Amino acid sequence: MAKLDIAHAVQTLRAAAAPNGESIILHEPRFAGAEWEYVKDCLDTGWVSSVGAYVDRFEKELAEAFGVRRAVATVNGTAALHIALMLAGVKQGDEVLVPALTFAATANAVAYCGAIPHFVDSNMETLGLDPDALDTWLAEIAEPGEDGPRNRNTGRRLAAVVPMHTFGHPMAIDRLVEVSEKWGIPVVEDAAESLGSLSNGRPLGARGLIGITSFNGNKIITTGGGGAILTNDEHLGDRAKYLTTTAKRPHRWAFWHDELGYNYRLPNINAALGCAQLQQLPVFVAAKRRLATRYQDAFAKVEGLRFFVEPAGSQSNYWLNSVILDDAGARDDFLAATNDAGLMTRPCWTLMCDLPMYEGNPSMPLPVARDIEQRLVSIPSSAVLALN
């Protein structure tokens, strides 16, 4: 294990990301297209709220970008995941298999359904949920039930599995679909970070039953806040639209809601921003991949860490670039030195099983997720760094 020369690593990062000495943040949006024109159109026409032409247009163009039949825009990615889990049949008291290494929203959306997150280990080559480890784990803890497999240790139904493509790097989604079909557990795909990424030449987002994405301010494209539900099932698409628009039945004047719905609609003004951003997606992805190549070349000369590259058979959007340190003990010193130098870096998420609201939840052993958590650092990744 090579010792990390932190000063050398900081100098390398500075030279690759910001050679002029400026401070840079982890990820920032870029507005260089028709954003002003489309948003001004909303303001001029007065269509700024939950209905309008840009919502319909954004949903159509998103479906094309993700290669799915339907996209339903929502107020954020967490809301999209909440509804997607409901549409997959997740109910109160169920367990849902989620990676321990993920952003809190993945587990939180499960809890919104009254279900229990059941934590799964990761794969070092993808950073995402490990389908083979899950298959082995299910062989140990799952047993048949009248309405699907159950956890023999808790008696609860295993209602869904939620993979997440960490930092835009495709996890082994096709293998996971095989495992899910073997066990009869539907896949709800969390593609919040992976717009523009490809696995085996195909977009991510709806390889399983249903999926979601996010357009938060730090994502590869942004609507300020926003998300979308993705599916190839027209019925699920209709249900998603209905539930996210307060379960209101169409009528010229009557307000008739015939089941519990949610006000998860994306405003037209946000959708206008999204339409303009989506037009620039190929430019953003190309820039971020150039930045990743620059980092890969630069860090090849630094001992004590490696730059994380896209998994085999995939094309990543490199939403967040990351390095893996040889020595976990150097992580916090590296974080301190880079941030002190005006180069924003951050560690990976705290494992979900270590958060107070999820302590004691069902979990398989998590050696790989724990290793990634302790040694991964994300570095500045804005497309603008490779656009100039």
**pLDDT tens by residue, 316-325:** 999 999 999 9
| pLDDT of amino acid 357 | 98
**Does the structure show a pLDDT above 70 at 355?**
yes
pLDDT at 130: 98
What percent of the chain is predicted at pLDDT more than 90? 95
Give pLDDT tens digits for 261-302. Answer: 999 999 999 999 999 999 999 999 999 999 999 999 999 999
pLDDT at 60: 98
Give the pLDDT confidence of 103-139 residue by residue, as tens digits. Answer: 999 999 999 999 999 999 999 999 999 999 999 999 9
* pLDDT(52) > 90: no
**C-alpha distances out from residue 163 to 76, 209, 241, 307, 366, Å:** 18, 12, 23, 23, 15
Asked if residue 388 has pLDDT above 70, the reply is no
103-113: pLDDT as tens digits: 999 999 999 99
List domains and CATH numbers for the chain. 6-26+281-386 (3.90.1150.10), 35-279 (3.40.640.10)
Average pLDDT value over all residues in the chain: 96
What global pTM score does this model have?
0.96
